[in-house]
Amino acid sequence: MEHVIADPLGTRRVVVTGAGGQLGAALLEAFPGAVALTRGAWDVSMPPPPLDAGLVLHAAAWTDVDGAEADPQGAAAVNAGGTQHVAELGIPFVYYSTDYVFDGRKRDPYVESDAPGPRSVYGRTKLQGEAAAVDAGAWIVRSSWLFGWTGRNFVRTMLALGRERDEVAVVDDQRGSPTYVGHLAEATRALVELPAGLWHLAADGDCTWAEFAEAIFEEAGVDCRVRRITTAELGRPAARPAYSVLRSERPGAPRLPHWRDGLRECLARLLPD
């Protein structure tokens, strides 16, 4: 089922789950007056409380990719069960998914019609969440490599390491599109005027993690070298897609700015004048 909400922002009360996270913070800015639900207000792995809302922006998620390998039931309870709980509210909602639903074997951008094939517990549980969202007629937003001015993310980690070290080792055999949460939140405003269903919304352009790190240091004026390594050398528990650039094939899809523009906007908020 696909639908368009008439005047979703003019008269309807918007609720943001996962409001304590980096995407939640951006959504609260993009949707003034939205009700913020942190995990303390609603742990989405539990049944939902009564909500007076016309639109739910479901940003709550288990995002610890490696931790999900050690606790698959916990990750599923949040990413799959939590989305089912949102669906049970019977309120139109937006579900935020991930590039990790793909196996990364392509070498050209993934579009909505490409078959998923997650290689990690995290990817599988997010795909299960997508299934619950499809059944509810929700908007499903796949995005990638999120970063923002709050929370734990690659940009904040690199800035911290770059101030402490002369060199950092960063993976150079994974390619994606780093997406600024501020841009994704603004794109969500446009999206909810469009039919529900599956949409790919990620930053324009692409890079490897090592290239992203080099750009962070360059833009921030941090004197730190990047030593390029392989995913195998990093040795993380969860498999990562080697290539996960996302693009939309749907007419009228919101287009996000280039990842480098997002980086500059993020750094403007993170760094002192």
Residues with catalytic function: 122
For the chain, the maximum distance between any two Cα atoms, rounded to a whole number of angstroms, is: 54
Tokens of 81: 């069960």
> 196-229 burial, b if ≥16 CB within 10 A, otherwise e?
bbbbbbbbbebbbbbbbbbbbbebbeeebebebb
* Helix axis angle, 181-191 to 259-270, nearest 10°: 120
Residue with tokens 């003034």: 32
Cβ atoms of 239 and 100 closer than 8 Å: no
